[in-house]
Amino acid sequence: RRAGIATAPRFALQPILRLLSRDCASVIDVGTGLMHSLERSRVKVRIGLDAHRPYLTHRRVADAVPLNAPASALTELFVPGAVDLVTAIDVLEHFDAGDADGFLADAEQVAARRVALFTPRGHFPQEGHDAYDLGGEELQRHRSTWEPEDLTERGYAVVVLRGYHGPWNSSFVEAFGADAKPGDALVAWKDVTNPLRR
């Protein structure tokens, strides 16, 4: 651990996300896709927000609330402190760097307790790829790269998940080839002090 940055093996993602949600009764998962990240969530109230309606139509969590809207509408849809937790799993890299700052500010406003993120570390090109074959290629294009320091500078604690992306990921193989060395990923979180916390 150094300067708010720790390392962990690749399989630590789910345990970390469980720890980050254990004191939360509600969550908005932004860019939820098919709601894979809500499948294992133990949070009682689960909302999945995505700009691509076909993903929500084919969602994997029937009892989560699907909301078809872009991430940029977050503060138009939700008042400050609306939910305990805002998550963005495999989402940050889809924003331009400037838009990412706006999104993080909005997420921190809507969250009453915490914002949690997951993103590839460093350069990971992705264009013309839709893991779900539902026509969302443009939304899945990678537009920014992230290193641990990019998030710690914004007040986030970071865990580097070593070797998270590798030949088991079709997008990784497309970008780097099947024989490439696995790449790291980042899980990060920030506790917020929202004056309207319930």
CB contact at 8 A, 131 and 42: no
- Which of 14-23, 61-70, 136-145 is least confident? 136-145
Q: Which residues pair with 118 in a beta bridge?
A: 89, 187
% of the chain surpassing 90 pLDDT: 76
Mean per-residue pLDDT for 26-54? 95
pLDDT at 123: 86
pLDDT at 198: 46
pLDDT at 147 over 80: yes
Overall pTM > 0.85 = yes
Q: Can you tell me the distance from the alpha carbon of 86 to that of 30, in angstroms, rounded to the nearest whole number? A: 7
Supply 104's token pair. 């993080």
CB contact at 8 A, 177 and 154: no
pLDDT at 98: 87
pLDDT at 139: 67
Q: Can you tell me the distance from the alpha carbon of 158 to that of 20, in angstroms, rounded to the nearest whole number? A: 12
Integer CA distances (angstroms), 40 to 15, 33, 107, 127, in order: 10, 15, 21, 28
Q: Can you tell me the distance from the alpha carbon of 111 to that of 78, in angstroms, rounded to the nearest whole number? A: 10
pLDDT at 125: 72
Give residue-wise pLDDT tens across range 85-142: 999 999 999 999 889 999 999 999 999 999 999 999 998 877 766 677 766 666 676 7
What is the average pLDDT value for the chain, to the nearest integer?
A: 91
